[in-house]
Amino acid sequence: MRIILKTSGWSQNVQVDPNFTVNDLKRRVHFRTGIPPDEQRFLFDNNMLQDDCSLLSDYHIQDQSILYLLRRRIVPSDWWLHSP
């Protein structure tokens, strides 16, 4: 099935299987976009998808469903050492 992945700057179609887990989806998105899996958060039908073993079908995600990709930036714990 094909889902539509949207973020603030772009949208793209992603081919997935209903039996994909959220982690499978993250790996697919990482391959397509280069965004690391630990920076990805998905919103569907006003619910945040959890990083467990839940299947996309458990969230009732179907063909042509729209998922919103929210990017969580990971800031190093010593970030203040590098600021001007």
Task: Give the H or E element holding residue 71.
Answer: strand 66-71
DSSP state for residue 30 in the 8-state scheme: H
Domain 2-74 has CATH 3.10.20.90: yes
Q: What is the dihedral of CA 11, 17, 19, 25, to 10 degrees?
A: -40
pTM of the model: 0.81
Q: Could you tell me which residues are beta bridge partners of residue 67?
A: 5
For residue 56, which phi and psi values (nearest 5 degrees)? -60, -35
Contact 47, 13 (CB under 8 A): no
**pLDDT tens by residue, the chain, 84 residues:** 999 999 988 899 999 999 999 999 999 999 998 999 999 999 999 999 988 778 999 999 999 999 999 987 666 666 556 655
Q: Can you give the residue ranges of every domain in the chain?
A: 2-74
